[in-house]
Amino acid sequence: MTGEPRVTLYTRADCHLCDEAGAVIAAVTSELGASWRAVDVDADPEDRAEYGDLVPVVLVDGVVLAYYRVEPDRLRQALLA
């Protein structure tokens, strides 16, 4: 796996929905051999301004796929597209 991760999860500490989204992302990306990263939305003022009230936020190839919850099948389809 090289280059930028395909999936980005904007998250924050003590967010149970973020933990759930991370588990779904980890499972699907492992299955498909894709890379992902978690970004602390509170670490950057611009990220916090854009996504702070919407976490977890899931992006695939830089495009928002989901807010709050990520459906495994929808993530899988986005990664296979």
pLDDT digits (tens, 9 = 90+) for 23-67: 999 999 999 999 999 999 999 999 999 999 999 999 999 999 999
Dump the DSSP string for 40-79: EGGGSHHHHHHHTTT-SEEEETTEEEEES---HHHHHHHH
Q: What is the pTM assigned to this prediction?
A: 0.93
Q: Exposed, middle or buried by CB within 10 Å (0-12, 13-18, 19+), for 78?
A: buried
Distance between CA atoms of residues 54 and 49, nearest Å = 10
Q: What are phi and psi of 12, to 5 degrees?
A: -150, 165
Q: Could you give all domains of the chain from N- to C-terminal order, each with its CATH number?
A: 7-80 (3.40.30.10)
pLDDT band at 1 (very low <50, low <70, confident <90, very high): very low
